[in-house]
Amino acid sequence: MNLDTIERTQNDLLMRVRSRLNSRSAAKVLKSIEAAKGPLPGHLRAQADEYAADVLGSKRYAPWLYIYSAMAGEFREGWIPDNYYMQVVLPAIEGRYGDLSEMRSMTARVFGQEKEIPDRGYVVKGRLLNASLEPVSSLEEFTDLVFAGVEKVAFKADASDRGRGVQILDRDRFTQIAANLPDGVIQPFIDQHEAFAQVASRSVGTLRMTSVLEPDGQVTVRDAYMRFGRDTDDHVFSESNIRLLLDTATGVFSSIGYSVDWLEIDRHPDSGFIFAGNEVPNYAACLEAVKRLHRRIPMVPVIGWDLTVARDGSVQVLEWNSGHNDIKFSEATSGPCFGGLGWEHLGRNGGATQITG
């Protein structure tokens, strides 16, 4: 058995495991929605089954279509199920480039020192590097560098997602654990804009945007929503966050947000902040930054971005994701968001390795 065969076998096994976990996650979400809205009507379930089998290539992709239908109260052609996106779309359109963002230090190489990138330094195989990937001679010098003008920093480990692998550290704690940190990036803990602090003050609210390189070479933003933390969290966790759909063109808040259980709410459960009538500050600059930065890496057709806006109105790009960015919330609440790209045909056209069984 050669190395390529071993790698394909490992990838297939990993996909099978992810597929089973994804199915369980979908079933849990649907159960929560049905408890609030009632059972999914049989005709919508049948439409989802038919579309998954005939268009996407397998009934395996139907469970997320059930969720989207339950949320929308109807079935819409063109929806991209979460597991289909992860198992078929991303491998087909991105290939190995999808792994670039897993290594946090690649941000310095890909985007350089753009004003929106707040990275102060990196840990790479035990070495301490500044934002230009130049070695820093001592821990004391590195600590002075990353804490310049701030009291706290955020450390994000490579390949971390959903808020895991993130630590919020003061100077004392950082010096205690710096020698044992895994590979990752250090950023200042952002003093967020008052518009976000009113919603949740303890953690930094993040703007999630998905940009796409269109067939004509232009970059567009296909979806956008806010994620706010809870009072018990010092940063946003996927397991507890509050999500709020935005008008993708203007950044205006929807009047309805969603709990981690996918249930509708009109205000933040801790602060009581009412969503309606508010908007993302300096949203036009957020849009411009995402489009400009995406053009720096045209070999990656779709990127998920996590941004925030600082108290002074500056845009801060906290994270970019080229391989595991999440589209299911936007698809469920405002989709289909990715029409005209031909993604729905990739499964039948052999665009990526298919999982059987």
- The pair of structure tokens assigned to 91 is 């491998």
- The pair of structure tokens assigned to 344 is 């729905």
- The predicted pLDDT at position 99 comes to 86
Query: Could you list the mean pLDDT of each consecutive 10-residue stretch along the chain, which spans 357 residues?
Result: 58 56 82 94 97 95 96 96 93 89 89 92 94 94 96 90 77 93 94 96 95 95 96 86 96 96 95 97 98 95 97 96 89 95 86 41
From the DSSP assignment, how many helices (H) and strands (E) are in the chain?
11, 12
- Cβ–Cβ < 8 Å for 185, 155: yes
Q: How far is CA 79 from the centre of its chain?
A: 18
Cβ neighbours for 93, distance < 8 A, ≥ 6 positions apart = 301, 302, 343, 346, 351
DSSP letter at 280? Answer: -
In angstroms, the CA 72 to CA 83 distance is 19
- The predicted pLDDT at position 12 comes to 58
Q: pTM for the whole thing?
A: 0.89
In angstroms, the CA 218 to CA 212 distance is 8
Beta bridge partners of 305: 209, 320
* Helix residue ranges, H only, 116-166: 139-146
- The predicted pLDDT at position 98 comes to 86
- Cβ–Cβ < 8 Å for 232, 240: yes
- Cβ–Cβ < 8 Å for 136, 129: yes
- The pair of structure tokens assigned to 61 is 């992709």
Residue type, 197: A
- The predicted pLDDT at position 161 comes to 64
- The predicted pLDDT at position 8 comes to 55
